[in-house]
């Protein structure tokens, strides 16, 4: 949903003189030395100070501070020139107050300003740009962001943005980009701020869970949120509690209760991820974005299942049965004549099948009850069905998927009782020992 910018009613379009000045300024900014960078930063600080003064003086008369607000927004966009010069990042971070200034602007009342700041910070913190600095000192900008409680600022900001609004959703995407870059360069900055980290995990998971309207394109911010959630869980230590907040109740990602929490407020992260996947039992027209989203949700679930308590929750939430259903999923709409859609559907079915067996390989580790449930739910046929598949062409998962199947079978042989183990052994006798021959292959 597009909205009218707060600046639209005050803009009449650039005049010829303004265009000429813009071109002249662009030519001057093609090569900016350190003195030029300081001058640009100084201009921003002056514009911000003027806008704050005007807002304070004319709090009830927006038309009187809107001009300075437009100038501030323009200055923020003009600063994009410095994002192409990582060689100045060290001096910029250590020798100026730019980082604290930008972070303070995240509290601005105008969300257009906030989104512009997020976009600028995203460009400045881009890990690829930072890596271009041969001296290695550009990473200092990430250190300074950490020293100024960047995660706290970002979490507070994204919670006030409306992801259903197109322009604010772009701001959310930029915020997620900042978090991704920080994790890539120094994940401790994110993990060490425990209170903000807990709220971040909760917010990201809720975005991942949020409903999507079938009539519109799959939301890109949901795809990115799922990717960032995977990065957060992957970089967290296996034995470290990842807090989720539901109302005032604290709940670990394991879903474990915290003393004093109201049971009705408890928020189970593992169950939430299963709910995200449950809808794919009959989904037959996925988009490329949705396939990427589903892959990241599967990745998040595998990270959660590293913990024993999560494997318990997975079992209680009928996670084993859901994975079996996703493996058995019927390939709907086979008669479609659209080759692109047929390719996407084929890719989607393969993702669900391969990812589900990967999840099961995590779920059965050290967990006899999961193995029993797999057999009792008639899941052996699905597991062996994957084993019997022979990859076509150059398949990246050709070696990984059989490994997941073998892991499941290994744990079943370890933990099943005699009756269930006999059912498992009989599978190898079917069709002239074809499954045993496949194992030898």
**For 186-243, how does the pLDDT look when each residue is reduced to its tens digit (9 = 90+)?**
999 998 898 898 889 889 988 998 877 655 678 999 999 999 999 998 887 643 334 3
Q: Tell me what percent of the residues of the chain surpass a pLDDT of 70.
A: 81
Per-residue pLDDT at 16: 67
Q: How confident is the model at residue 252 (pLDDT cuts 50, 70, 90)?
A: very low
Cα distances (Å, whole numbers) of residue 274 to 40, 289, 364, 376? 49, 19, 16, 20
pLDDT bracket for residue 93 (50, 70, 90): very high
415 vs 15, residue with greater confidence: 415
Q: Which pLDDT value is given to residue 249?
A: 34
Residues 6+ apart with CB under 8 A from 351: 291, 294, 295, 298
**332 vs 96, which has greater pLDDT?**
96
* Report field, pTM of the whole predicted structure over 0.75: yes
Residues 393-404 have a mean pLDDT of 71
Confidence of residue 23 (pLDDT cuts 50, 70, 90): low
Query: How many residues in the chain?
Result: 441
Is the pLDDT higher at 36 or at 117? 117
Segment among 12-16, 218-222, 393-397 with least mean pLDDT? 393-397
pLDDT of residue 12: 55
Phi, psi of 159 (to 5 degrees): -70, -20
Q: What is the pLDDT of residue 292?
A: 96
Collect all residues with Cβ–Cβ distance below 8 Å to 66 and sequence separation of at least 6. 6, 7, 10
Question: pLDDT tens across 142-176, in order?
Answer: 999 999 999 999 999 999 999 989 899 999 999 99
Upper half-sphere CA count for residue 80 (Cβ side, 13 Å): 11
pLDDT computed for residue 240 by the predictor = 36
* Average pLDDT across the chain, whole number: 84
What sign does the dihedral 154-156-162-167 (CA atoms) show? negative
Mean pLDDT of the 23-40 span:
70
Q: Give burial (CB, 10 Å; 0-12/13-18/19+) of 339.
A: exposed
User: Is pLDDT of 257 > 70?
Assistant: no
Query: Is residue 106 exposed (0-12), middle (13-18) or buried (19+ Cβ within 10 Å)?
Result: buried
With a cut of 80, say whether residue 17 has pLDDT above it. Answer: no
**pLDDT exceeds 90 at position 441:** no
Q: Which residue has the tokens 């001057």?
A: 28
Q: How confident is the model at residue 247 (pLDDT cuts 50, 70, 90)?
A: very low
CA contacts within 13 A on the Cβ side of 439 = 13
Q: Give one DSSP letter per residue of 240-292, joined into a string.
A: S--EEEETTEEEETT--B-TT--GGG---HHHHHHHHHHGGGS-----HHHHH
Higher pLDDT, 270 or 183: 183
pLDDT (0 to 100) of residue 106? 96
285 has pLDDT over 60: yes
Predicted pLDDT of residue 340: 80
Inter-residue contact 251 to 267 (CB < 8 Å): yes
Which residue has tokens 């899941």? 379
Domain ranges, ordered by start, for the chain: 34-183
Segment 321-326 shows an average pLDDT of 96
């Amino acid at each position: 949903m597009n909205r009218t910018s707060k600046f639209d009613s005050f803009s009449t379009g650039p005049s010829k003189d303004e265009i000429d000045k813009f071109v002249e300024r662009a030519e001057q900014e093609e090569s900016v030395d350190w003195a030029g960078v300081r001058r640009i930063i100084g201009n921003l600080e002056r514009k911000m100070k003027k806008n704050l003064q005007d807002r304070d003086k004319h709090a009830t008369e927006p038309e009187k501070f809107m001009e300075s607000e437009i100038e501030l927004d323009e200055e923020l966009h003009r600063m994009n020139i410095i994002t192409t010069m990582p060689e100045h990042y060290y001096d910029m971070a250590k020798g100026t107050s730019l980082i604290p200034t930008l972070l303070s602007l995240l509290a601005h009342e105008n969300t257009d300003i906030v989104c512009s700041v997020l976009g600028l910070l995203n460009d400045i913190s881009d890990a690829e740009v930072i890596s271009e600095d041969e001296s290695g000192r550009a990473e200092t900008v990430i250190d300074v962001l950490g020293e100024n409680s960047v995660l706290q600022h970002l979490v507070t900001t994204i919670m006030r943005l409306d992801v259903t609004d197109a322009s604010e959703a772009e701001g959310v995407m930029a915020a997620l980009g900042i978090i991704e870059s920080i994790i890539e360069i120094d994940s401790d900055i994110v993990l060490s701020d425990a209170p903000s980290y807990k709220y971040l995990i909760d917010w990201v998971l809720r975005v991942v869970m949020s409903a999507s309207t079938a009539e519109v394109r799959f939301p890109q911010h949901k795809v990115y949120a799922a990717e960032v959630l995977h990065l957060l869980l992957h970089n967290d230590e296996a034995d470290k509690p990842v807090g989720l907040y539901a109302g005032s109740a604290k709940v670990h990602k394991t879903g474990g209760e915290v003393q004093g929490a109201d049971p009705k407020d408890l928020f189970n992260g593992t169950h939430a991820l299963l709910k995200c996947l449950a809808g794919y039992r009959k989904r037959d027209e996925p988009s490329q974005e949705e396939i990427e989203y589903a892959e990241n949700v599967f990745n998040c679930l595998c990270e959660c299942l590293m913990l024993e308590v999560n494997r318990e929750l997975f079992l209680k939430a009928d996670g084993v049965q859901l994975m079996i259903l996703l493996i058995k999923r019927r390939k709907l709409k086979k008669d479609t004549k659209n080759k692109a859609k047929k390719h996407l559907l084929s890719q989607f079915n393969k993702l669900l099948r391969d990812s589900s067996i990967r999840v099961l390989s995590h779920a059965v580790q050290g967990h006899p009850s999961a193995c029993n449930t797999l057999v009792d739910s008639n899941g052996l046929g699905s597991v062996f069905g994957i084993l019997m598949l022979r990859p076509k062409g150059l398949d990246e998962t050709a070696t990984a998927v059989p490994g997941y199947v073998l892991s499941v079978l290994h744990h079943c042989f370890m933990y099943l009782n005699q009756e269930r183990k006999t059912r498992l052994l009989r599978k190898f006798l079917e069709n002239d020992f074809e499954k045993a021959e496949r194992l030898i292959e």
